Amino acid sequence: MYIQENLTTTPHEVPGCSWELPDALAEKFYRFGAFAKLVLNDDRSAIADIVEDTERRGAHEKARARKAQERAEQEAEREREQQQAALEKQGVAIMARSMFRSTAVAMSADDVIRCRALAEEWAPGAFAVGDVRTEDGVPYRCCQEHDSTDNPDWNPKAAPALWAPYHGATPETALAWIAPTGAHDLYKQGECMVWTDGIVMRAKRDTNFSPEESPS
């Protein structure tokens, strides 16, 4: 049984042999043959050159391997540092969210709005008065203690009797207009909102009406 080798287009002639040799094998054969001829002829200068060249090749390969190892170690170290930084960042975020959760009930509306990224996104569960959750980026405070575990449609937007949106008191903390439904979520005097045309409006007095419904 024979295995076909990948041959060059020009067969490698080997004295006393009519076989064609693959490139890699032919190169080894000729290098060994040339070295053997030099040894037989006692050509010490040429032998020294070959030995030096071989040593130089070996040193070069070792240097390449060492550099590759160093690069791999540096990459692994960078990855470890990135993972450590991510863990530290995650730890800081968890701590910040925990602090926000415990202090939000006493914070001003402006501060809650500024820190709303720390608030939990609403999900069905048990809530106490003052709990803060966000829905679509808008922070809401719980107005009535309730448990929505079995009522997944009691989200802040759909259950305004249970949740009231925060209203900022500055143009920077003004959020988009949300129509009030009662006294618990009306716009108080001085509170701001962003009207449909993108203009920030400030309430001149407590109101449940929009600028369109009550322009004066």
How do the domains of the chain map onto residue ranges?
23-97, 108-202
Pick the CATH number of 108-202 from 2.60.120.260, 3.40.640.10, 3.40.50.1820, 2.10.10.20: 2.10.10.20
Mean pLDDT within 111-128: 96
User: Among 2-16, 80-94, 120-134, which stretch is predicted with the lowest mean pLDDT?
Assistant: 2-16
Contact in structure between 95 and 113 (CB atoms under 8 Å) = no
41/191: higher pLDDT: 191
> Which is nearest to 133 in space by CA: 101, 108, 95, 174?
101
Query: The pTM is what?
Result: 0.60
pLDDT of residue 2: 41
Distance separating alpha carbons of residues 211 and 52, to the nearest angstrom:
91
Distance separating alpha carbons of residues 84 and 65, to the nearest angstrom:
28
pLDDT of residue 54: 74
pLDDT of residue 209: 94
Distance separating alpha carbons of residues 164 and 178, to the nearest angstrom:
10
Chain mean pLDDT for the chain: 82
With helix as H, strand as E and coil as C, how does the chain read? Answer: CCCCCCCCCCCCCECCECCCCCHHHHHHHHHHHHHHHHHHCCCHHHHHHHHHHHHHHHHHHHHHHHHHHHHHHHHHHHHHHHHHHHHHHHHHHHHHHHHHHHHHHHCCHHHHHHCHHHCEECCCCEECCCCEEEECCEEEEECCCEECCCCCCCCCCCCCCCEEECCCCCCCCCEECCCCCCHHHCECCCCEEECCCCCEEECCCCECCCCCCCCC
Instruction: Quick: pLDDT tens for 70-116.
Output: 888 888 888 888 888 777 777 778 888 889 988 999 999 999 999 99
Distance separating alpha carbons of residues 63 and 9, to the nearest angstrom:
35
Distance separating alpha carbons of residues 25 and 6, to the nearest angstrom:
11
- Residue 157 main-chain phi, psi, to 5 deg: -65, -35
Is 70 exceeded by the pLDDT of residue 30?
A: no
User: Among 48-62, 129-143, 181-195, which stretch is predicted with the lowest mean pLDDT?
Assistant: 48-62
Instruction: Quick: pLDDT tens for 164-189.
Output: 999 999 999 999 999 999 999 999 99
Mean pLDDT within 193-212: 94
85/34: higher pLDDT: 85
